[in-house]
Structure 1
Amino acid sequence: MTEHIEPRQMETDDLTKVWSVTEFCARHRIDTEEQALLLKLFGPFATASELIHNAKRAPRFR
């Protein structure tokens, strides 16, 4: 079953939530080098969308 959703009804709170860069890196297993780059780029705080699109993470299988 499908349901039509108007764009106005969607909430974008999850992507616009402001995170501490260090907390985000700890929760998403991002190494210290990448964390330093994110801190340089954004400072101590950034939105979840910015962090997700700019963070690189090593594969889990290695």
Structure 2
Amino acid sequence: MERVEPENADSNMATKVWSVTEFCARHRLDEEEETRLLQLFGPFATACELMHNAKRAPKWR
């Protein structure tokens, strides 16, 4: 874990726009979750929106 001072934080990362399909591929989300995110946001969304709305099954199940 690393502490980032507010004046050094890059707000560009939270507002970066991603292709929902590319985001799902990079984060290994299944097709059902990709379909849900596409219905929710359309083809593009910010990284913040995607991270807060993506659901993943636990690895131990």
Distance (whole Å) between structure 2 residues aligned to residue 59 and residue 12 of structure 1? 29
Q: Unaligned stretches of 5+ in structure 1? A: none
Percent sequence identity over matched residues? 67
Q: Whose radius of gyration is greater, 1 or 2?
A: 1
Q: CA deviation at 1:9?
A: 4.5
- TM-score (structure 1 length as normaliser): 0.81
- TM-score (structure 2 length as normaliser): 0.82
Distance (whole Å) between structure 1 residues aligned to residue 15 and residue 57 of structure 2? 25
Distance (whole Å) between structure 1 residues aligned to residue 35 and residue 42 of structure 2? 10
Aligned residues: 58
Q: Unaligned stretches of 5+ in structure 2? A: none
2:58 matched residue in structure 1: 59
Deviations 1:5-61 (A, max 9, x none): 4x4543211111000000000000111001000000000000000000000012223
Superposition RMSD in Å: 1.7
Runs (4+) of structure 1 exceeding 4 A deviation are none
